[in-house]
Structure 1
Amino acid sequence: MAASNGKAVLFVCLGNICRSPIAEAVFRKLATDNSVVDHWVIDSGAVSDWNVGCSPDARALACLRNHGIETDHRARQVTKDDFATFDHILCMDESNLRDLKKKASQVKNCKAKIELLGIYDPQKQLIIQDPYYGNEEDFETVYEQCVRCCKAFLENYS
């Protein structure tokens, strides 16, 4: 699964319909704009299986479209193989982090570095809050956080 130079990132949230598909789409756009997209495997997933096969939330899609970004992502659950194939697994909150570390402990050949995406935020907003029960402004906040974090992550690993 890894790209030719071994860079692979998986963005993770609870259901893979709001935060992580936004982060995936934002990172893909930044990598494309910086002419490095071919150096990366980029995906997103969920710790739960609630939304497997579903498109992102309509508000997430509208937010991305407002910024000129399209995605055809379908929600999927994180698998044991992901821990062995991705270099970085970046999640949105402490609950995601706990769930991922628990799953990783059951994988013998785990190579993924599991972190909060927010550790890359220059504004030091560590947690990317779930906007699902919020409004369009909450999705915009998630988008802005993802842009800041993904830019910093890409600069750090390119």
Structure 2
Amino acid sequence: MMLKILFVCTGNICRSPIAEETFRRAVKARGLQRVIQCDSAATHAYHIGDLPDPRTRKNAESHGLQLTHHCRKLSGEDFSVFDYIVAMDYYNMENIQTISARSIGIKQSEENCFLYRKFDNVLQNKVMEVPDPYYGNSNNFEEVYQIVNRCAETFIDFLIDKHHL
């Protein structure tokens, strides 16, 4: 069994690439890379083919991560390839559902398409979204890193329990 996870944000240059890479590192640390794979995508085509935002890459490097992902847009095929599609915020969740309805004729179930912050054990004021750091400063990029890094561990626990890994 191979589980495939897709992390999604607006442009695939800030939140979803760092979510992808922190998750990949956590998967590798647990020796699960043969049963769990991940990727990331955008709901909009603003940055297709680009590397993640330089500020995202700088933050990732400060945590020992190298981001080499090239931005891509969510496609209809993704709904049949990935077992879980994980949105960074409500806006992107709505866009995922719209793309799904247009591409394959149905919306995604809450069992396989949800907000990543659902797995954050340190929810502040019950905010379920990973904030978009694009218009912010380095502190905002660090906050996103901390959130997605926490979510990675809890999400893996969920996958282990649900799929008996």
Range class of TM-score, shorter chain: over 0.9
- Pairing 1:90–2:93 present: no
**What is the TM-score with the length of structure 1 in the denominator?**
0.93
| Other-structure match for 1:23 | 19
* Distance across 2 between alignment mates of 1:6 and 1:34: 15
Displacement of 1:33 in angstroms is 0.9
Alignment of 1:20-99 (within 5 A): 20-99=16-95
Displacement of 1:15 in angstroms is 0.1
One-letter amino acid of the counterpart of residue 9, structure 2: C
Displacement of 1:41 in angstroms is 2.1
Runs of 4+ residues over 4 Å off in structure 1? 108-112
Displacement of 1:71 in angstroms is 2.0
Q: Do 2:24 and 2:37's aligned partners in 1 also have CA atoms closer than 8 Å?
A: no
* Distance across 2 between alignment mates of 1:19 and 1:71: 12
- Pairing 1:100–2:96 present: yes
Between the two proteins, the alignment pairs up a number of residues equal to 154
Partner deviation per Cα, 1:89-116 (whole Å, 9 max, x = no partner): 0011110000001111231587771110
Q: Do 1:121 and 1:149's aligned partners in 2 also have CA atoms closer than 8 Å?
A: yes
| Other-structure match for 1:157 | 159
Q: What is the root-mean-square deviation of aligned Cα atoms in Å? A: 1.5
* Distance across 2 between alignment mates of 1:7 and 1:145: 22
Q: Percent sequence identity over matched residues?
A: 32
* Distance across 1 between alignment mates of 2:35 and 2:2: 8
* Distance across 2 between alignment mates of 1:135 and 1:111: 34
- Pairing 1:133–2:135 present: yes
One-letter amino acid of the counterpart of residue 66, structure 2: E
1:77 match: secondary structure: coil
